[in-house]
Amino acid sequence: MNLPAQPRICIVLLSAVGDVVHALPIVTAIKRHRPQSKITWLLQDAGAALIQGHPAVDEILLFRRQAGLAGFVKMAMELAERPFDVVLDL
């Protein structure tokens, strides 16, 4: 796969906090392999505190499941504004 020098990568992990903890080494490895990459992490509120300020994560997008359809539409609009080169659904 040919990626640009500064790939935009989106990590999607909408499950439990424990899964976020298990995914942190993956994100760290990606950033170590591609330090110029911009990593955006899409997750639910509960896991956001764990990755806030993490050096490998450049941006956090929150999906608020309790917001229902309005929350889904907001998330879809935010994602549409960001063209990603790679999306990893963990």
Residue 1 lies in a domain: no
Structural domain includes residue 23: yes
Alpha helices, DSSP H only, in the chain?
17-33, 45-51, 68-80
Give the pair of three-digit tokens for residue 74. Answer: 């907001």
- The answer to whether the CB of 11 falls within 8 A of the CB of 27 is yes
Residue 12 lies in a domain: yes
The residue range of the domain holding 18 is 8-89
C-alpha span between 65 and 14 (Å, rounded): 9
Residue 3, domain member (yes or no): no
> Among all chains, which residue has been given the structure tokens 């929350």?
71
How many domains is the chain built from? 1
pTM of the model: 0.88
Which tens digit of pLDDT belongs to each residue from 38-62? 999 999 888 888 899 999 999 999 8
The enclosing domain of 45 has a CATH number of: 3.40.50.2000
**Measured distance CA(80)–CA(53) in Å, rounded:** 24
Q: So what's the pLDDT on residue 14? A: 86
